[in-house]
Amino acid sequence: MEEDLTTSSAPVVVEGIAEPGSGTGRETPGPSLAWRVGAAVAALRAAMRGALGDSGTTIGADLRGAFGHILAARHLGLMVLGGLAVAYVLSGVYVVNPGEEAVVRRFGRVLDRRVAEGLRYRLPWPIEQADKVNVAQIRREGIGVTIPDHPTSVHPPEEVQVLTGDENIVNVKVIVQYRVKDPADYLFKVAYGPDPLIRNAVKDALVSLGGATDVDDLLTTGRPEWQQALQSQAQRTLDRYNSGLQFVNISLQEVYPPKEASDAFRDVASAREDRAKAINDAQGYRNSVVPEARGKAQRAISEGEGYKADVINRAKGEATRFDDTLAEYVRSLESSSDDVTRYRLYVESMEKILSKVKKYVVDPGENGEKVNVRILEQR
């Protein structure tokens, strides 16, 4: 078997199988595939015979009896090549499972960014290649907290601290849920693992937003709005990197002060509660005093309005009476002397001024005699 089999001009027989075309007088370009396979089997049999002795001869005879008729087939090479060609063409068939999308590349360049689920075909490797990504899966990542399904060797536990706008430090624990929204960007745009990218984007947003927020808002009523702003800013960071990732939800699991400052925070919380209690007490006192004061003020206003109306009406009546008296006085002047009217006015004035004093009207007579009024008093 050490001779050059391809240049031999004499008919060569390998284990009883003659080379095709030998003995026909025609020159052949070289040994056929069947002859090559037979030569390899003969070499293998010779090696096994040397190693196994008689048992090797028996094995060689068995192999020759089992496959000799196949190796003697004239079109065996074409059949093998045809089978290999069919298998190569069919290797381009692939299946995109539900919830997945595929990215098809041709010589490394992205040809189709989003191939939907189903039975698909691409040109065989190395011409085209399909990479499948699960876009329906909701993935989780923890910042400051260890998630059970993530090994600690890949995701070591860490303590995330945020400096607030009023110069307080708080520890933050966040659970992030995200998914792949663009398979092509996810696979080829960022040469970085998705989990570290998610963690760094969220931590960047935590530091940025924490510096513009007071600690009271983080610990109390401002957390929902701050959580929404955190998700929006972290998503903008991912979009700037064209990461192909999308946040589904960012949840603030816990916001708490460091151990060194926990006592001071408790004192502040107690003072805040005392302040709220004092405010509530003051509001209650205000609610009890202000309505009463408003009622008294309204009553005083009503009484003043009544007094005003009474005085005005009295004044109007007096003015009307004076106008009537004046008119009567003018008529009296026209009809008689002014003494009668003047005397009547004098008497009315005296009755008004000396209302509690007995008054006597005495006619002094023609000669103006003085009258002793004592005799008029009743004994």
63-103: pLDDT as tens digits: 666 666 665 666 766 777 888 888 888 888 888 889 888 99
pTM: 0.51
Q: In this predicted model, which residue has the larger pLDDT, 166 or 22?
A: 166
Among 26-40, 73-87, 316-330, 358-372, the range scoring the smallest mean pLDDT is 26-40
Q: Report whether 47 contacts 63 (CB < 8 A).
A: no
What percent of the chain is predicted at pLDDT more than 70? 68
* Cβ atoms 353, 359 nearer than 8 A: no
Residue 242 class from Cβ within 10 Å (0-12 exposed, 13-18 middle, 19+ buried)? Answer: middle
Q: How confident is the model at residue 14 (pLDDT cuts 50, 70, 90)?
A: very low
Question: Which bin fits 368, alpha (ψ -120 to 50), beta or left (φ > 0)?
Answer: left
Residue pLDDT, tens place only, 49-67? 665 555 556 766 766 666 6
Quick one: tokens of 88? 């190569």
**Angle between helix 33-52 and helix 54-71 axes, rounded to 10 deg:** 170
Residue 148's pLDDT is 66
pLDDT at 288: 86
pLDDT at 186 > cutoff 80: yes
Q: What secondary structure does DSSP assign to 207-241, as a single string?
A: HHHHTTS-HHHHHTTTHHHHHHHHHHHHHHHHHHT
Residue 26 pLDDT level (bands cut at 50, 70, 90): very low
Provide mean pLDDT across the span 108-128. Answer: 87
The number of beta carbons lying within 10 Å of the beta carbon of residue 6 is 9
Question: Helix or strand or coil: residue 133?
Answer: strand
Q: What is the pLDDT of residue 5?
A: 39
Question: Which token pair is 274?
Answer: 């005392």
Question: How confident is the model at residue 86, as a pLDDT?
Answer: 86
Q: According to the model, what pLDDT value does residue 364 have? A: 66
Query: For residues 120 and 96, is the Cβ–Cβ distance under 8 A?
Result: yes
- CA 39 → CA 15, 63, 76, 109, 287, distances in Å? 8, 13, 15, 45, 112
Question: Helices 194-210 and 223-240, interaxial angle, to 10°?
Answer: 130
- Nearest CA to 9 among 33, 40, 30, 39? 30
Residue from 186, 226, 223, 190 nearest 205 by CA: 226
- pLDDT at position 144 over 60: yes
DSSP, collapsed to helix, strand or coil, labels residue 327 as: helix
Please, what is the average pLDDT of the chain? Answer: 76
Task: Specify the pLDDT at position 60.
Answer: 62
Residue 1: is its pLDDT beyond 60?
no
Distance CA 187, CA 178 (A): 16
308-351, pLDDT tens digit by residue?
899 999 898 888 888 887 777 777 666 665 566 677 777 788 88
DSSP 138-203: -EEEEESS--TTS-TTTS----EEEE-TTS-EEEEEEEEEEEES-HHHHHHT--S-HHHHHHHHHH
* Poorest-pLDDT segment among 256-260, 289-293, 296-300: 256-260
**What integer pLDDT is reported at residue 171 of this predicted model?**
81
pLDDT at 247 over 80: yes
- The pLDDT value recorded for residue 199 is 86
- For residue 376, pLDDT over 70 is answered with no
Q: What is the reported pLDDT for 36?
A: 66
Q: Give 139's contacts (C-beta < 8 A, 6+ positions apart).
A: 177, 178, 179, 194
pLDDT for the residue 151: 55
Query: What's residue 24's pLDDT?
Result: 45
pLDDT digits 0-9 by tens, 146-174 = 776 665 555 566 777 788 777 777 888 88
Contacts of 371 (CB under 8 A, 6+ apart): 362, 364
Which range among 7-11, 89-93, 225-229 shows the weakest confidence by mean pLDDT?
7-11
| Percentage of the chain modeled with pLDDT above 90 | 3
* H helical segments located in the chain: 33-52, 54-71, 76-90, 183-188, 194-210, 215-219, 223-240, 262-335, 338-353
Token pair, residue 32, equals 């056929």
